[in-house]
Structure 1
Amino acid sequence: MYNSLVKSLLFKLDAEQAHSTIHRFAETASDSGMLKALAKSIYNYQSAKLSQQIWGLTFRNPIGLAAGFDKNGEIPEIMEALGFGFVEIGSITANPNTGNPKPRSFRLPKDRAIINRMGLNNDGAQTVIKRLKNKELSIPLGVNIAKTHDPKIMGDAAIQDYVQSFNEAKKVADYITVNISCPNTAEGKTFEDPSALDELLSALKIRDDARLVPTTVKFSSDLTKDQLLQLLEICEDHRIHGYVACNTSSSREGLQTSKAKLDNIGRGGLSGKPIANKSVQIVEWISEATKGQKPIIGVGGIDNFSTALKMILAGADLLQVYTGLIYKGPGLVKSINRQLLHELDELNIKSIHQLVKAFD
């Protein structure tokens, strides 16, 4: 039904209008026991074989909702009903922000991709966390934090901005993701600068408290292997609990969309199918560097079972989808989980962790 009717209607709207329409319906559904029950009966697909224990949390299946879809923590209940194994809200920032001027989100249908420059629009950490306190979930909740989108906030002020959001997130989050691809200086330097990352993680005091909420770092998809390894060394020194790979890309290489259309769209982060190979590669580099000892959430271009399996075999313990939902609809989650279970049964293995060995 999504591909035959809903998608065609939504694609008549611009990308952000379509998202807002879906979001308003999801808010209504989240408040309706009947609609949640209906969503669960159609889309929810679970099996004990898909369940994993990570960071002391139970993930009943490996497919999560990526940050960006529910920035303000308004619809996690309906996402649970749709069969997600976990949800990650945000990015949230210390101060509320309306983001960049519109239009700021663009579809690339030929590439099954999106370019966005939303500008971290959100209600602010305090408001979002207060809202989340009233949500009842039985799946893990991740909170993605970033620096407030304000060029005047940089240096030490940028670090304190993160600390404020981090302290708010700890009140409700089952895990926290630190998004480090955010400008830190007037020159546009991000927290993927090694010295800036070291200062940030020192301020968050992750290695000083073993009881801290599990904390992950989310990397850009545009890092070279050497850059990534340098950042991983810093993260490991600070005893980061896991990693999320990857964020969007600034590259336009290899796209089928015309150069004229891309030039008209302008800057923004590319997500969806074109960054899948990059994301799989970075997951593999992280897994190799950490000897498979740190949980990895693979995200970026997952829109079918084949890509999901590649991500798991590269070293991802959990997966996230967003752009894939736009092109494939909510049935994507059930489809991947069902095919993943079929793969486990075909190989006569009992858990996702055994998949990598089965393919060796």
Structure 2
Amino acid sequence: MIYNSLLKPLLFQLDAEYAHTLTHRFAKAASQNSLLGQLAKGIYDYQAPELEQQIWGLSFRNPIGLAAGFDKNGDIPEIMEALGFGFVEIGSITQQPSTGNPKPRAFRLPKDRALINRMGLNNDGTQTIIKRLKNKNLSIPLGINIAKTHDSNIMGEAGIKDYVYSFTKAKEIADYITINISCPNTTEGKTFEDPEVLAKLLSALSIREDARTVPTVVKFSSDLTKPQLMELLDICEQHRIHGYMACNTSSSRDDLSTNRSTLRQIGRGGLSGRPLASKSVAMISWISKATNGQKPIIGVGGIDSFDTALKMLKAGADLLQVYTGLIYEGPSLVKSINKKLANHIRERNISSIHQLAASE
């Protein structure tokens, strides 16, 4: 209530990236203050036995995670745990540090409850971030999202080696690793969603050959058609990928309420938020059916309410992530979804999230 009535109107008067920077600074201070951490936990944390899951041998106390992009550099996972998240994902991280694209590069679309960003994978670099994370003390799973360094000179084999470096370093600390093959915000505009290139990347990561490797998830673009997704999914299955994430931001501007002149003024970038929800639900369903429900799926893109979260879980998602929804709903979103989800499970006289789809 405080967020929507007081903080949000103030933050929305500021540039989107600057507002995020201020929020991040406060969160960083709170992460280093045990009193503030306890206060946040007392207000926002909600857990229930019905929400607990064991996935990849990891214990998730609830299915709501923090999506990559919110804490790119691994500065604030402690306060995110205090806010009630069941897991957090850091990144995207890249082998070399990057300042990203020129500003302005983040824009709100309030009419659509969405964002457009072209941050350009700004981060402190893999070595620095992994070193920082080694000093963190978390009791929830930590995911690390890796991507290729934002540099158009790093292409082909050099691009694959760039990924391999970050993957190798991330294995030192991550509970799971997300391979971001679809980020549209790099200078050259290319991705690793080309089937041939993806096969080379996964071969270089040696996931299929190393049974002891950290659970590895592939994150797909929201702009893939079903045939394109099925082709990439087949390659991933050949390489024994442990799970999937649907989906990343979109380059599409279809069916938005924001006027066209504003969108033209903003220009390129990845769309996130409510407009992605239907795409995410569809892709989760496609992946779940294609894998016979045997591979864990993380649903992300457009979750700003319990109703959307439930649709994704019923479509086949095992875990969920939020980011843009936090900007429009505030930190109470996590507690609200978890509380309603626990009640929903009890009302249907089932014992777990996994049984949700079958119970409807």
The alignment's TM-score, normalised by the length of structure 2, stands at 0.98
Structure 2 residue 303 is the aligned partner of structure 1 residue 302: yes
> 1:201 aligns to what?
202
What is the SS of the residue equivalent to 2:39?
A: helix
Correspondence 1:221 to 2:214 = no
- Partner AA of 2:15 in structure 1: D
Q: Is the 8 A contact 2:45 2:82 kept in 1?
A: yes
Q: Provide the rounded CA distance (Å) in 1 between the counterparts of 2:68 and 2:8.
A: 21
Compute the displacement of 1:48 (Å): 1.0
Return the letter of the residue paired with 2:80: M
TM-fit CA distance, 1:189: 3.4
User: Which residue matches 1:243?
Assistant: 244
The letter for the 1-side match of 2:65 is G
Q: Who is 1:40 aligned against?
A: 41
Could you give the per-residue CA deviations for residues 10-38 of structure 1, whole angstroms, max 9, x where no partner exists?
01111000000000000000000000000
Question: What stretches of structure 1 of length at least 5 have no aligned partner?
Answer: none
Name the counterpart of 1:160. 161
Question: What secondary structure does 2:119 align onto?
Answer: coil
How much identity, in percent, do the aligned residues show? 73
Superposed displacement of residue 190, structure 1: 1.6
Cα distance 1:122–1:197, how it changes in 2: closer, same or farther (>3 A)?
same
Contact 1:155/1:185 (8 A) holds in 2: no
Contact 2:119 2:185 in 1 (8 A): no
| Contact 1:93–1:125 (Cα < 8 Å) also in 2 | yes
Partner of 1:21: 22
Change (3 A) 1:297 1:325: same
Instruction: State the partner residue of 1:59.
Output: 60
Query: Structure 1 residues 60 and 163, CA, compared in 2 at 3 Å: closer, same or farther?
Result: same
Q: Distance in 2 between matches of 1:341 and 1:224?
A: 34
Separation in 2, partners of 1:16, 1:231: 33
AA paired with 1:327?
Y
Deviation, 1:187, is 6.4
Whether the 8 Å CA contact 1:43–1:82 is kept in 2: the answer is yes
How far the C-alpha of 1:140 sits from its partner, in A, is 0.1
1:125 partner amino acid: T
Paired residues for 1:269-284 under 5 Å: 269-284=270-285
Q: The residue matched to 1:206 in structure 2 has which SS?
A: coil
- Give the Cα separation in 1 of the matches to 2:185 and 2:239: 20
Q: Name the TM-score, length of structure 1 as normaliser.
A: 0.98
Give the paired residue count: 359
Q: Spell out, residue by residue over 1:22-63, the C-alpha distance to the aligned partner (whole angstroms, 9 max, x if none).
A: 000000000000000000000000011100000000000000
- 1:53 aligned counterpart, secondary structure: strand
The residue type paired with residue 319 of structure 1 is L
Per-residue deviation, residues 243-289 of structure 1 (Å, max 9, x unmatched)? 01100000000000000000000000000000100011001000010
CA deviation after TM superposition for structure 1 residue 119, in Å: 0.1
Instruction: Give 2:92's aligned residue.
Output: 91
How far off its partner does 1:181 sit?
1.3
Aligned to 2:324: 323
1:142 counterpart residue number:
143
- Contact 2:284–2:315 at 8 Å: present in 1 too? yes
In the alignment, is the contact (CA less than 8 A) between 2:183 and 2:221 conserved in 1?
no
Decide which moves more: 208-217 or 179-188.
Answer: 179-188
Give secondary structure in 2 for the equivalent of 1:68. Answer: coil
Change over 3 Å in CA distance of 1:29–1:327 after alignment to 2: same
Counterparts of 1:15 and 1:163 in 2: how far apart (Å)?
A: 33
The one-letter code of the counterpart of 1:320 is Q
> Which residue number corresponds to residue 111 of structure 1?
112
